[in-house]
Amino acid sequence: MATKVYGGIAVEVDDEGFLKKATEWTPEVAKAIAVEVGIPALTDKHWKVLEFARQDTASSGQSPGPRRIVASAGVSMKELYELFPKGPGKLVARVAGVPKPKACL
């Protein structure tokens, strides 16, 4: 367990940099994590995806995968990959401050 400072705010993160407590997330934290993962500026589309991920995780108890994001957040799969390059499932979760999507093993 470690503490990191993002956007001037100290937050608890796990070994892979995911927030341990969704309640410690703020938009400032998100902006700083985004820079760290290679997204220099968050656009309105990024925010739409991040807001959906946070709401959905709170109501369903699990981080949404790419298909679920595309079905509900108003972006196409191609856009999602442009917004969060390489691994959108994982990157969205990291910036949105929700748990990393995992398999059982």
Partner 1 sequence: MKHLLILGAGTAGTMVANRMVRKLSLEEWDVTVVDPDTTHLYQPGLLFLPFGNHEESELVRARGTTLDDRVRWVQRPVLEIDGQARSVQLEGGDRLPFDLLVIASGSRIRPDLTEGLLGDAWQRSVFDFYTLDGAVKLRDALAKFRGGRVVINLVELPIKCPVAPLEFAFLADEFFKRRGIRDDVELTYVTPLDGAFTKPIASKRLGHLLQEKSVKVETEFAVGSVTDHEIVSFDERRVPFDLLVTIPTHSGAAFVERSGLGNELAFVPTDKHSLAAKGLENVFVVGDATDVPASKAGSVAHFEAETLIENLERAASGRELVSTFDGHANCFVETGNGKALLIDFNYDVEPLPGKYPLPGLGPFSLLEESKLNHQGKLAFRWIYWNGLLPGKPIPVPAQMSLAGKEQPAP
Residues near partner 1 (CB under 8 A) are 15, 60-62, 65-68, 71-72, 77-78, 80-81, 85-90, 100-105
42/93 with CB nearer partner 1: 93
Is the sign of the CA dihedral 2, 99, 89, 11 positive or negative?
A: negative
CB of 84 to partner 1, least distance (A): 10
Take residue 39 and report the two structure tokens written for it: 């997204």
* Per annotation, catalytic residue among 1, 103, 104, 105: 104
Distance between CA 53 and CA 96 in Å, rounded?
7
CB of 80 to partner 1, least distance (A): 8
Residue 63 is given by DSSP the state: P
Residues found in the chain: 105
21/100 with CB nearer partner 1: 100
Q: Active-site residue numbers? A: 104
